[in-house]
Amino acid sequence: MPSDAEQSTGHGVMSFTSGGAARVLAGACRRAGLDSGGARLLRFGENALFRLAAHPVVVRIARSAEYLDAVRGEIRVSRWLTRTGFPVTRVIEDLEQPMVVDGRPVTFWHLIEEGDRKPTYGELGAVLRDLHALSPPDSLALRPYPALGRTDRRIAAAVGIPEDDRAFLRKRAQELRERVASLRFESRKCAVHGDAHVQNLMVDRTGQVILIDLERFSFDHPEWDLMVTATEHYSLGWQTMEQYGAFVGAYGRDLGGWPGFPTLRALQEFKMTTWLMQNVAENAETAEEYARRISSLRNEDEPRAWKPG
């Protein structure tokens, strides 16, 4: 029988639960010679992130072996950015990386001791400006940005959603593929983070702003990074005018005026909904927020009263 971390969804995909991730954590730490006792779950989304109590280490657990190539790429990118002096999350070098436990890729990262403030949108714009100016080496073998990402897998694996939602999301995914294929970019390709929102920055105790979560790092057009904050602003109202103005001022461009932005905005809303959908079985609050988001996708004129999460 599969473990709690690997319960079948009935759609040929094994689910991923926070309890199952905790068991993977324990096994990975035993192999690494680390104490997992008292570990705290920091985030449960595309990955499970745990902070170890006994060591200054964060352990990242991916959902399945399908993520292994992305995890390996994340490690390579971290090492490259570290060598260039770019402020980035750093992998622990004296441990096996990545480790696979019960079919889940596991990586170990230096704990970033947070300071007394959160990063600003102006800092996000500045980090992206500096990142997009870098020329990644061919040895990184970066792929193009995966516009639909893992949405097909998410839709297949989702537990606790109506089958009508599943059918709707599959149809919407195909529509978005067609719209994305018709986009015409004028910008040059560059290093792209791939999930560039302010929550993927941290400020350490020295005040340094550090970029984290590198698994979608790509070589592609910078619009893929700018669409995240632009969507949060224009669709969701998650920033004040001053905050968004600081982001645009630091980066030097407002994506909202680009003809392709409506397509990127629709794509980002879709991805945000399917990301949350992965965890509807975890608690009622997540299920309620998913219901709000899927209703908005079905009704384009409905206000996006979404909650961050």
C-alpha–C-alpha distance, residues 243 and 140, integer Å: 34
> Which residues, in sequence order, are bridge partners of residue 104?
101
Tens-level pLDDT at each residue, the chain (309 residues): 334 334 444 444 456 787 889 999 999 999 999 999 999 999 887 789 999 999 999 999 998 888 899 899 999 999 999 999 999 999 999 998 999 999 999 999 999 999 999 999 999 999 999 999 998 999 999 999 999 988 998 899 888 899 999 999 999 999 999 999 999 998 999 999 999 999 999 999 999 999 999 999 999 999 999 999 999 999 999 999 999 999 999 999 999 999 999 999 999 999 999 999 988 888 899 999 999 999 999 998 888 999 987
Q: Torsions phi, psi of 142, nearest 5?
A: -70, 140
Question: What pLDDT score was predicted for residue 12?
Answer: 40
**265's tokens:** 């905005």
Say if CB 46 and CB 275 are below 8 A apart. Answer: yes
Which H or E run contains 100? strand 99-101
* Whole-number Cα distances in Å, 99 to 29, 30, 60, 65, 94: 10, 12, 10, 11, 13
Question: What pLDDT score was predicted for residue 45?
Answer: 76
98 upstream amide cis, omega within 30 of 0: yes
Which H or E run contains 108? strand 104-110
- Look up tokens 């809303």; give the residue: 269
Which H or E run contains 249? helix 241-251
DSSP 24-69: HHHHHHHHHT---TT-EEEEESSEEEEE-SSSSEEEEEESSGGGHH
C-alpha–C-alpha distance, residues 296 and 16, integer Å: 26
Domains of the chain: 1-111 (3.30.200.20), 114-309 (3.90.1200.10)
Q: Torsions phi, psi of 179, nearest 5?
A: -70, -40
Which H or E run contains 286? helix 284-298
DSSP 235: T
The amino acid at 202: M
* Whole-number Cα distances in Å, 32 to 64, 98, 101, 213, 222: 20, 11, 11, 22, 38
Q: pTM above 0.75?
A: yes
